[in-house]
Chains A and B, each alone.
Chain A
Amino acid sequence: MSFAVEVDGVSKLYGSGQGLVRALVDASLRIAPGEFISLIGPSGCGKSTLLRLIADLASPSRGTIRVNGKSPREARLAREFGMVFQSPVLYEWRTVLRNVLLPLEVMGVPAAEARDKARAMLNLVGLSAFENHHPWQLSGGMQQRVAIARALVFHPPLLMMDEPFGALDELTRERLNNELLNLWQEQEKSTVLFVTHSIQEAVFLSSHVVVMSPRPGRIERIVDIDLPRPRTAEMRSQPRFFELVSAVRQALREDGSEEAAHGG
């Protein structure tokens, strides 16, 4: 079986000597195509670093990464990544529609075709009425929906999301969780790598939750989430959901006590 993402003994070090930061140490991970993987852990655990290494926004100090059998750089040049960051990173001089058009423009998609695709995508995230608005006229949740539309509009095989809902309030976050899953289930399922610090969010969305720990950043444990799909909002109040949340929390706490023992 071929993997969507293969991470093999990857380390990322910054600085040197006294100032050496071991952002990520000896991480190994295999992700099958179509899986929804969350990376969770306290700040400094290397979850964003791992995402950026896979997306070829940084290069590993040691180890190898393969994306659909290619190097991250080859995969990036083949336009296999859709990126969503914690801040929406909308271009404020562009309207909502033209923000969603941005990747298609860069990729040289003919204007009429691009416009149809962008409009269809905006319709899916429920923002058709706002296509001529500028980003500053939208709420934070709406801005992040535009960012998701922009990431999905060219159907990238790998969707990378770096704490996309981290700056939103709890209610907006839960609603966008549902919307994201609907989008993902409607389209041909891409592989999703999702960085978060919310346990509920990770459990609700994912097929596997990768628990990471800091100083040095490393992969601690992988918790399999066996909730059936399609996931519904009601599942958040079912016993199995709480069991899985506890399991992830337990895994995170173990790291914490270990860290305390090392640090003490």
Chain B
Amino acid sequence: MKDLTEGMDVSAGAMPARRGSTRALISVGVVLVLAGCWEAVKALFDIPIYKLPHIHQIFAEFFHESADGQWMLGILLENAAVTAGEAAIGFLFGGIAGFGLALAFSRSSLIERGLLPYVIASQTVPILAIAPMVVVWLGTSWVSKAVIATYLTFFPVTIHVLRGLKSVDPDAVALLESYAATPAQIFFKLRLPACLPYLFTALRVSATASVIGAIVGELPVGSQSGMGVVIINAAQYYNWRPVNLWGAILISALIGIAFYAVVALMERFIVSWKPRTEGEATA
């Protein structure tokens, strides 16, 4: 009898908070297990520091003072801010451009048939090959990096939003037409809200891609700052100080995770009507 009431207590009300803390526990657990594996493998196979440093060495590196007396973490964060800014601008313009293309494609199958193959082809070209040319054309300022971030951002948005716009129930359109709705009303009351879940699926992908784009844009010679520059330098001096590169990788990953989290948070507020399913990833 006692067991039964306890079980019911869990099913009512107590569940969401419990689920949230369980998820946090799992996240922390995964990090701990991975760290454990890292150190275990290192100890087991006697891997030298230049191949795989200790985890505590990487964190210690953040507080290592550079030649001009600044903590490495400060230098990393300054560069991370530069990269994040470029990625954010690229993400914004990529989102707008991707959405515009999807709209154009959904309006006219002629435009879709004519242009879509080139849009797809544009994504098959290795970004590493294009980046140096963009930098040559546009200079080494933030503009060229943002353009490369845009280039990686717009494609998922175009593909997903196009699918969202096409998924609109014809009867839902017929309904609005039976009210003599204007094309603008059909767009704002039906097509736009209907494609929002698709847009956010794309933005989750694009959020991390835009950070990659900005970093790749910083790799060519001539760039002064950003995580790409840090990574190139750290790679050059890897044998001398391997923890530098690992620290740079960690910070770069955190930018991507932060971008993803912002998008996921926006989605939760904007697409709030959707039933939240078990499998759905939440940052």
Report the count of interface residues on B (CB-CB < 8 A): 21
A91 touches B172 (CB 8 A): yes
Contact of B171 among A76, A87, A94 (CB under 8 A): A87
Chain A CB count within 10 A is highest, among B176, B179, B189, for B179
Nearest CB of chain A from residue B176's CB, rounded to whole Å: 7
The answer to whether A107 has its CB under 8 Å from any CB of chain B is yes
Within 8 A of B (CB), among A62-105: 76-79, 81-83, 85, 87, 89, 91-95, 102-103, 105
Task: Indicate if the CB atoms of B178 and A83 lie closer than 8 Å.
Answer: yes
Whether a CB of chain A sits under 8 angstroms from the CB of B224 is no
Q: What residue of chain A has the Cβ atom nearest to residue B190's Cβ?
A: A91
Whose C-beta in chain B lies nearest to the C-beta of A147?
B175
In chain A, residues 131-189, which have Cβ atoms closer than 8 Å to a Cβ of chain B?
A: 134, 136
Inside 8 A of A134's CB, which chain B residues have their CB? 273, 275
A77 touching B180, Cβ below 8 Å: yes
**Distance, CA A77 to CA B178, complexed state (A):** 8
Given A91-B190, A93-B196, A105-B189, answer yes or no on A136-B175 (Cβ-Cβ < 8 Å).
no
- Contact partner, B178, options A81, A92, A93, Cβ 8 Å: A81
In chain B, residues 23-40, which have Cβ atoms closer than 8 Å to a Cβ of chain A?
A: none
Given contacts A87-B171, A93-B196, are A57 and B179 in contact (CB under 8 A)? no
- Collect the chain A residues with CB atoms within 8 Å of residue B85's CB: none
Chain A residues, CB < 8 A from B172: 89, 91
Is B179 touching A103 in the complex (CB atoms < 8 A)?
yes
- With the chains together, A105 CA to B196 CA distance in Å? 21
In the complex, whether A209 has a CB less than 8 A from a CB of chain B is no
Q: Is B169 an interface residue (CB 8 A)?
A: yes
B256 at the interface (CB under 8 A from A): no
- Tell me whether A93 and B193 are in contact (CB under 8 A): yes
**In B223-281, which residues have CB < 8 Å from any A CB?**
271, 273-275
- Establish whether residues A107 and B179, one from each chain, have CB atoms under 8 Å apart when the complex forms: yes
Closest to B169 in A: A89
Complex Cα gap A56–B179 (Å): 11
Instruction: Using CB atoms, name the residue of chain B closest to A81.
Output: B178
Say whether A106 faces chain B, with CB atoms less than 8 Å apart.
Answer: yes
A76 engages B177 (CB within 8 Å): yes
Q: Are B179 and A106 in contact (CB under 8 A)?
A: yes
A195 on interface, CB distance cutoff 8 Å: no
* Distance of A78 Cα from B177 Cα, bound (Å): 11
- Please tell me if A55 contacts chain B, counting CB pairs below 8 Å: yes
Determine the chain B residues whose CB is within 8 A of the CB of A107 once the complex forms.
179
Segment 41-55 of A: residues with Cβ below 8 Å from B: 55
The residues of A that contact B178 with a CB separation of less than 8 Å are 55-57, 76, 81-83
Contact across chains for A93 and B171 when beta carbons are under 8 A apart: no
Q: Which of A56, A77, A92 is B273 in contact with, Cβ under 8 Å?
A: A92
Q: Contact between A106 and B181 (Cβ–Cβ < 8 Å)?
A: yes
> Does any Cβ of A come within 8 Å of B174's Cβ?
yes
B179 engages A79 (CB within 8 Å) = yes
User: Hey, which chain A residues are within 8 Å of B66, CB to CB?
Assistant: none
Asked, given contacts A106-B181, A106-B189, whether A83 binds B175 with beta carbons under 8 Å apart, the answer is yes
**Bound state CA distance, A30 and B59, in angstroms?**
84
Give the distance to chain B from A117, nearest Cβ to Cβ, in Å.
14
Interface residues of B in 115-171 (CB under 8 A from A): 169, 171
B185 within 8 A of A: yes
CA distance A139 to B181 in the complex (A): 29
Which of B171, B189, B193 contacts A85 (CB under 8 A)? B171
Contacts of A55 in B (CB 8 A): 174, 178
Given A77-B180, A79-B179, A93-B273, verify A106-B185 contact (CB < 8 Å): yes
Task: Please determine whether A83 and B193 come into contact, CB atoms closer than 8 angstroms.
Answer: no
The smallest beta-carbon distance between A136 and chain B, in angstroms, is 5
Q: Which residues of A contact B196 (CB under 8 A)?
A: 93
Interchain CA distance A241-B185 in the complex, whole Å: 46
B207 to chain A, nearest CB (A): 22
**A107 CA to B176 CA in the complex, in Å?**
10
Q: Give the contacting residue for B180; candidates A76, A91, A102; CB below 8 A.
A: A76
Q: Are A106 and B171 in contact (CB under 8 A)?
A: no
Q: How far is the CA of A94 from the CA of B196 in the complex (A)?
A: 13
List chain A residues, Cβ under 8 A from B193: 91, 93
CB distance from A58 to the nearest CB of B (A): 10
Return 7 A-B CB contacts under 8 Å, by A number: A55-B174, A87-B169, A91-B194, A94-B273, A102-B189, A106-B185, A136-B275
Binding site for B on A (CB under 8 A): 55-57, 76-79, 81-83, 85, 87, 89, 91-95, 102-103, 105-107, 134, 136
| Besides A77-B180, A102-B176, 16 new A-B residue pairs in contact (Cβ under 8 A), listed by A number | A55-B178, A76-B177, A76-B178, A78-B180, A79-B180, A85-B175, A91-B190, A91-B193, A93-B193, A93-B194, A93-B273, A95-B273, A102-B189, A106-B180, A106-B189, A134-B275
Which 7 A-B pairs give the minimum distances between C-beta atoms? Answer: A106-B179, A93-B273, A83-B178, A93-B193, A85-B171, A77-B180, A106-B181
